[in-house]
Amino acid sequence: MNARVNKPLLYLSFIGLAALAYSVVDVFIHRTGGTHLGSYVPWGMGVVMYLLFVGFSAGGLLVSALTQMFGVRELKPLGGLATYAALVAEVCAGIAIASDLGRFERMFNFLLSPSLTSPMWWMFLFFSAVLFVSFMKAWAFAKRDDGLVAFWSWVSIPVGLCFYFTNGFFFSVLTGHGLWSGPVVPLLFVCAALLCGGALVTALAWWSMTNREGVIRLGCVVQLLLVAFVVLEGLWLWIGWQGGRVETLAAMRNLSAGPGAWAFWGLHVFAGMALPLFLLPQTEDNPGLAAWACLLILVGFAGARWAFVVPAQSVPMLPGLDTAWQHPRLMLSYLPSLAEWSMAAGVSGLALFGFLMGPRFFPGLYGSGPQTTKAS
Amino acid sequence: MSGSLPTEDPLIRMYRELKRALAKDQSQVKWAMVIDQAKCIGCHACAVACASENRLGPGVIYRPVIEQETGTYPNVGRRFLPRPCMQCENPPCVSVCPVTATWKNAQGVTVIDYNRCIGCRYCLAACPYGARCSDFGGFYTTRTAEEPGLVQGRYAARAYEKQNAPEYGQPWGERGKGSPVGNARKCHFCLHRLEVGQLPSCVTSCVGRATYFGDRTDPAALVSGLIGSARAYTLKPELGTRPAVFYLG
Ligand code: SF4
Ligand code: SF4
């Protein structure tokens, strides 16, 4: 295991943490008033970052499923790392979404006045469950108790699948938004999460030098998931196109040719799908290349989430609504504010810090003995 | 007087009907609104009256008036579509709220409990009519110069802006950081006015007398007759929301 800490990356994470501090203060002072969100584009960077980190957190589920259900023994040594990465990502996702609430101090109402008809309530429930199970799994790994590890790994599979499903379900019920609604979306979310989570664990395993065999094996799984994701996404867009609803087609035009098209074509399609699809088949003896291809998938996923969340909202619910009463909060265009960029940089910095310091703080989780190597 | 002119202002009739409806068992009343597009002149008086009545902050609007252009030159037309909350019978905004902060009351009005709402804006995304706003806080007068004597009426304007409307019959205190800032907000048919026997603000301010309001379970009510008209239609009927706001096309 490589417990040396890359100092430039560590300093970069400190900048991120400073940005996080700034954005948290801004949230406490201005609530959502510091964002550039509005009533016609009510979700932006906060939701994008939440979905991004939710995707990153699925590596724990993927490795558990592969080792426990499918008996892929080469991946066993990656279990602790995958669980740790999932925990870090879940914490980051939680911060991103809690700070996006107009009245975050009332979150206890999820418990006091729950609504079982709301996909968001189920998402909250499964998010809490996933967080709890990840903690228990990490604890079991740290104790090196194989029985407990197996138990919590099995528990994490249905809980995790339900959680990633509810994230897609959350959007699929919004029939007013043609691009979001429909039964393919929850499946797309499950597949995207497994892909991203797998890519994250592959990259982290390579850079922390945990297990060469595991990196190659997981790289193959990521390759398969990427193919499945491409097929599902193609299906999703094709159904929308064939359905021919005016709002859906307008959202698709925004996605492919609107101001955010760079996120879709540049980040998502080129960096996140085409390049990894080209690189991954060549990584059988080259785990380093697999790790870089996975890093590209992660970067591309940020573009994918932006392309999913923002362009769909840039279509007026009724023609002419956006010009009926004019105010910056009643517009269809959206660019994040400084506070929102800070929050994005902040949770990314927190994740980077967590991933860098993981091998030093939690050597047990990474499958080694007490850490002895000094920081470089 | 010419036989083609109405003998009575529809407002007088609607007030009479409102009194009748308020005397009834309130669980039997179902409020409805009818907007006659042939009479709407696009003056935006209803939008402004509503913003004033409900003390809507910057970026919050309950009843924008959408301008619609139809046809292609030279066969063109222009008409207006005031868009309050549709008070859907089957409202998609209600079922998605994770904390049951919004529901339909006995008279069919979709209401929000500002003290329970967590400001997630899920209901904004769910409303197919774009009828909900998030209150991001702030004042219209924020960029107005503060030095005394520079702009007349500036302090008065801020003092006015600081007062919240008694929406849902509750005093919300001074506008600032407390609710409804951070909450979802929407048209509620001026429930606080109805309770004291007044018609919604958009109805009384309508210059063209294009907006009608009343109890649709009352067969003699003006709205009941209009809802049955061959001209009556609702927005996006294919979604199955069953609006209580009807348009006469
Ligand atoms: S118009 Fe929108 S906000 Fe009003 S009841 Fe229907 S779905 Fe809810
Ligand atoms: S913004 Fe408020 S009313 Fe709307 S769904 Fe969220 S908690 Fe419910």
| Residue B76, token pair as written in the block | 């063109």
**A313 pLDDT more than 90:** yes
Mean pLDDT value across residues B144-148: 66
- Nearest chain B residue to A117 by CA distance is B95
Please tell me the pTM assigned to this model: 0.94
Nearest-CA residue of chain B relative to A324? Answer: B66
Mean pLDDT of A179-186: 93
Q: Each residue of A69-100: pLDDT tens digit?
A: 999 988 999 999 999 999 999 999 999 999 99
pLDDT at B157 over 90: no
In Å, how far from its chain's centre is CA A375? 29
Interface of A with B in 284-313 (CB under 8 A): 313
**What is the model's pLDDT at position B152?**
62
Dump pLDDT digits (tens) for A131-170. Answer: 999 999 999 998 889 999 999 999 999 999 999 999 999 9
Per-residue pLDDT at A368: 44
Q: Of A202, A220, A215, A216, which Cα lies nearest the Cα of A296?
A: A202
Q: What is the mean pLDDT of residues A299-306?
A: 96
Instruction: Assign A374 a pLDDT band (cuts: 50, 70, 90).
Output: very low
Pocket of ligand 2 (CB under 6 A): B 96-97, 99, 101-102, 112, 117-123, 184
Using alpha carbons, select from A263, A259, A335 the residue that is nearest to residue A300: A263
Q: Facing residues of B35 across strands?
A: B211, B247
Residue B176 neighbours by CB under 8 Å, 6+ apart: B137, B162
Q: Name the one residue in this structure whose structure tokens are 């979802």.
A: B184
Cβ–Cβ gap A175/B124 under 8 Å:
no
CA distances from B203 to A65, A234, B14, B32, B218 (A): 61, 49, 10, 12, 19
Residues of chain A with pLDDT > 90, as a percent, come to 86
Going from the C-alpha of A19 to that of each of A90, A96, A101, A319, A366, the distances in angstroms are 19, 13, 19, 39, 29
pLDDT for B158: 80
Question: What is the pLDDT, as a whole number, of residue B153?
Answer: 66
Tell me what pLDDT residue B155 has: 75
The answer to which of B6-10, B45-49, B183-187 has the lowest mean pLDDT is B6-10
| B8 SS3 class | coil
The mean of the pLDDT values for chain B is: 93
pLDDT in tens, B78-103: 999 999 999 999 999 999 999 999 99
The predicted pLDDT at position B40 comes to 97
Q: Contact, A203 vs A156, CB < 8 A? A: no
| pLDDT for the residue B142 | 81
DSSP B186: -
**ipTM for the whole complex:** 0.94
A248-277 as b/e: b if 16+ CB within 10 A? bbbbbebbeebebeebbbebbbebbbebbe
* Cα–Cα distance for residue pair A138/A90, rounded to 1 Å: 13
Distance (Å, whole) CA A77 – CA A89: 20
* Per-residue pLDDT, B236: 96
| The pLDDT value given to residue A371 | 34
Predicted pLDDT of residue B81: 98
Q: Probe ligand 1: pick from B66, B132, B134, B242, max atoms within 8 Å of CB?
A: B132
pLDDT digits (tens, 9 = 90+) for B28-63: 999 999 999 999 999 999 999 999 999 999 999 999
ω before A158 within 30° of 0 (cis)?
no
Q: Measured between alpha carbons, how far is A60 from A197 in angstroms, rounded to an integer?
A: 7
Residues B133-144, mean pLDDT to the nearest whole number: 89
C-alpha B244 – ligand 1 centre gap (Å): 10
Structure confidence at residue A372 (pLDDT)? 34
Question: Hey, is the C-beta of A331 within 8 angstroms of any chain B C-beta?
Answer: no
Q: Which ligand is nearest to the CA of B88?
A: 1
B6 vs A341: which has the higher pLDDT: A341
Helix or strand (DSSP H, E) at B215: strand B211-215
Average pLDDT value over all residues in chain A: 93
Q: What is the pLDDT of residues B222-236, one digit of tens each?
A: 999 999 999 999 999
Whether residue A284 is predicted with pLDDT greater than 90 in this model: the reply is no
Sequence-separated (6 or more) residues with CB below 8 Å from residue A216: A283, A284, A285, A287, A290
- Kindly report the protein residue whose alpha carbon is nearest to atom 2 of ligand 2: B117
* Predicted pLDDT of residue A163: 98
Asked if A245 has any chain B CB less than 8 Å from its own CB, the reply is no
CA dihedral B15, B17, B23, B28 (to 10 degrees): -130
- What whole-number distance in Å separates Cα of residue B123 and Cα of residue A116? 15
Please return the burial class of B4, using the count of CB atoms within 10 Å of its CB with bins 0-12, 13-18 and 19+: exposed
The amino acid present at A110, given as its one-letter code, is F
Asked if A286 and A220 count as a contact pair (C-beta separation under 8 A), the reply is no
Closest-CA residue of B relative to A37 is B136
Residue-wise pLDDT for A231-244, tens only, equals 999 999 999 999 98
Tell the residue nearest (CA) to atom 4 of ligand 2: B123
Residue A46's pLDDT is what? 98
Q: What are the φ and ψ backbone dihedral angles of B194, each rounded to 5 degrees? A: -55, -40
Closest CA to A219 of A286, A300, A298, A270: A286
**Residues paired with B54 in a beta bridge:** none
Mutation for A interface: B43, B48, B96, most A CBs within 10 A:
B96
Q: Residues A301, A55: contact at Cβ < 8 Å? A: yes
Whether the CB of A326 is below 8 Å from some CB of chain B: the reply is no
The answer to whether the beta carbons of residues A255 and A307 sit under 8 Å apart is yes
Q: Is the pLDDT of residue A373 over 80?
A: no
Q: Which two tokens stand for residue A276?
A: 């990894």
Q: Which of B50, B131, B36, B22 is nearest to B83 (CA)?
A: B131
